[in-house]
Every structure is written in structure tokens, then in C-alpha cells.
């Protein structure tokens, strides 16, 4: 006998059958993949509909970073894994300290590779996870749950509200308890999944897109890019060293050899090399300007370049 879904879950759009895929198991592989792709194409538009809400969250996160706070994503299952993935990609991309963007998953790191489903039903565990990292009022907590009603995430958000941390959510079901519980709700309604209830698909894709926008938007806001160049990249391997040279060359218009030399003079610091070249100054003065500009290249250049 199938165990019934908890009260109300069966009514969620993410738990409904998708009319476009009812007979997907009878299709050829190509047609089956076309059905999946057709459904995936709807996700970006669903995200577009809530850009104003995403913008509010981006600004709140950027403000938190400037004030010494963090962005903390928390979720269970796929939602938690996506938060951890996004957090882990910020240090190599933007040169941030690993503590600036934190990803937490119900069940801890072991749950990244192994399903630990029962923990998501424990609100106290969500609160405990935030207490363990010393959450403060300067932080922004992003609760992620396709259903918008995962107890682990609701417990985490409740604790965050108690200490006056800013709260955001990424949910995929309209009118959810999670959206009602946070300061900035982001509800991306992705509808029924190709495989009924498999929110690792469209809902998960939407969550990844929004997380990309939150962290990338906030990093742009605090000057981690110059134009669309990732000028805080850390050249820790051959690929990133080559990318750093190309970034300096693209940002300044100099030849590769000159960019490589400027980087060497700047001890591998991309921003320093760019400011030194564009302002016609030495690396020490470039570092001083950047320090006075909170690391923002355009401010360090005092508007002398576009």
C-alpha cells in the first residue's frame, strides 16, 4: 500500500502529473528527450517572471557582504546540494574566502552523495545547522525548497528571523509556508515535472539559475568583476593562470607578453595589474588605490576608463 503524502503535498503543482509526458515511456529516445527539453525551456521564462524579487535579494546579499556578513544557503536533498555547489564555486571564481558564501544541506556533507531523507522532516535540525556556523544578524539566509514547506528549512528560517538575519527563499510552489515566512520570497513556479514529483528536474534547474543570479549579481555589486571579467580570479593552476593573463590583456588592450609581465610585477593580482596598466602607475600605488576603493577597479581608476 502506498503511503499517502503529508497533508496538502499532493495538491502542489510540483507533485502533479505532466500531461506532456504521460506516455513518455512509449516514445523513441529522441522524442523522449525532446519532451524533456521542451519542458526545460519553460524554466528560464519562469525565472524571468520573478527577477524583481531576485533583485531585492541580490541587493540585500551585496549589502550584507559590505557589512561583513555572509550568504548562507540551506536546503535538503537536491535543494541542499545545489546550495553547496553554488557556494563551493564562489572562491575560485571570485577570489572570496570560503566562509563568505556558505552552503548547508540536511544531513551534513555525507548527504551530498547519500540520500538522508529523514533529516528534512526535523525543523530543529535546520536551526541547529545555523547555530553551528554562528549565524548573526549581519547574514542573509537563503532557504531552498521546491515544495516551500520542508520542515528542516522552515526551522532554519525561523531561527534566522529570531536573530534578525535577513531571510530569502527559493521555492517552486505558489503560496507556500516558506514564502510567507521570509523577508524576500522568490517563488519560481515551474509546474509539474516530466517525471512526476522529481523536483531534481525543472524545479532544481530553476533553483540553480536563481542561485547563479544571487551570487553572481552580489559579486558584481561589490566589485568582483570589471565589466564581465572575473578580476578576482585566483591563478592557482595552469588554466587559471592563462585566464588571468587573458583577462588583463582584454581589460587593458595590451599584448599578452605585456599582460603577463604586469601580472608578475603585481604578484599575480589581476586587479592590481589592470589598475597599474590603465592608470600608468606602479603595482604598489595600484594596490593602494584599490585598498582605498574597497577593491572596486572602476573606483580605483576614478572613472578614467569605461
Q: Looking only at Cα atoms, what is the longest distance across the chain?
A: 75
Cα radius of gyration (the chain): 22
Q: What letters, b where the CB count within 10 A reaches 16 and e where it falls short, cover 266-291?
A: beebbbbbbbbbbbeeebeebbebbe
Nearest Cα to Cα of residue 142 among 214, 193, 50 = 214
What is the DSSP pairing of strand 140-145 with strand 101-105?
A: unpaired
Element (H, E) at 168: strand 166-171
Name the catalytic one among 3, 15, 45, 89: 89
DSSP one-letter code for 138: T
41-44 LR contacts (CB < 8 Å, sep 24+): 42/190, 42/191, 42/202, 43/188, 43/190, 43/202, 43/205, 43/206, 43/209, 44/209
Residue 285 a catalytic site member: no
Name the catalytic one among 15, 120, 193, 269: 120
Q: Would you call 241 exposed, middle or buried from its count of C-beta atoms within 10 A (0-12, 13-18, 19+)? A: middle
Residue 120 a catalytic site member: yes
Residue 69: count of CB within 10 angstroms of its CB: 20
Query: How many alpha carbons fall within 13 Å on the CB side of residue 247?
Result: 27
Residues annotated as catalytic are 89, 120
Amino acid at each position: 500500500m502506498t503511503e499517502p503524502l503529508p497533508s496538502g503535498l499532493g495538491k502542489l503543482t510540483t507533485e502533479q502529473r505532466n500531461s506532456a509526458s504521460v506516455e513518455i515511456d512509449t516514445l523513441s529516445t529522441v522524442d523522449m528527450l525532446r519532451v524533456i527539453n521542451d519542458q526545460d525551456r519553460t524554466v528560464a521564462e519562469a525565472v524571468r517572471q520573478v527577477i524583481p524579487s531576485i533583485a531585492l535579494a541580490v541587493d540585500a546579499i551585496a549589502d550584507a557582504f559590505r557589512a561583513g556578513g555572509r550568504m548562507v544557503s540551506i536546503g535538503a536533498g537536491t535543494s541542499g546540494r545545489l546550495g553547496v555547489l553554488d557556494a563551493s564555486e564562489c572562491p575560485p571564481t571570485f577570489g572570496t574566502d570560503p566562509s563568505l558564501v556558505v552552503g548547508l544541506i540536511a544531513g551534513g556533507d555525507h548527504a551530498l552523495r547519500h540520500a538522508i531523507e529523514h533529516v528534512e522532516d526535523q525543523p530543529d535540525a535546520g536551526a541547529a545547522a545555523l547555530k553551528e556556523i554562528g549565524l548573526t544578524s549581519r547574514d542573509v539566509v537563503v532557504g531552498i525548497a521546491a515544495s516551500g514547506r520542508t520542515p528542516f528549512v522552515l526551522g532554519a528560517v525561523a531561527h534566522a528571523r529570531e536573530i534578525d538575519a535577513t531571510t530569502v527563499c527559493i521555492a517552486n510552489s505558489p503560496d507556500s509556508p516558506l514564502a510567507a515566512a521570509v523577508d524576500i520570497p522568490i517563488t519560481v513556479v515551474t509546474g509539474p515535472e516530466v517525471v512526476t514529483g522529481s523536483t531534481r528536474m525543472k524545479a532544481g534547474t530553476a533553483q540553480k539559475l536563481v542561485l547563479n543570479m544571487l551570487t553572481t549579481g552580489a559579486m558584481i555589486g561589490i566589485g568582483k568583476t570589471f565589466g564581465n571579467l572575473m578580476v578576482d580570479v585566483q591563478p592557482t593552476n595552469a588554466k587559471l593562470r592563462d585566464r588571468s593573463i587573458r583577462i588583463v590583456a582584454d581589460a587593458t588592450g595590451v599584448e599578452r607578453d605585456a599582460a603577463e609581465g604586469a601580472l608578475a610585477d603585481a604578484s599575480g593580482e589581476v586587479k592590481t595589474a589592470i589598475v597599474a596598466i590603465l592608470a600608468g602607475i606602479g603595482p604598489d600605488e595600484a594596490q593602494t588605490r584599490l585598498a582605498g576603493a574597497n577593491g572596486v577597479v572602476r573606483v580605483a581608476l576614478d572613472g578614467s576608463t569605461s
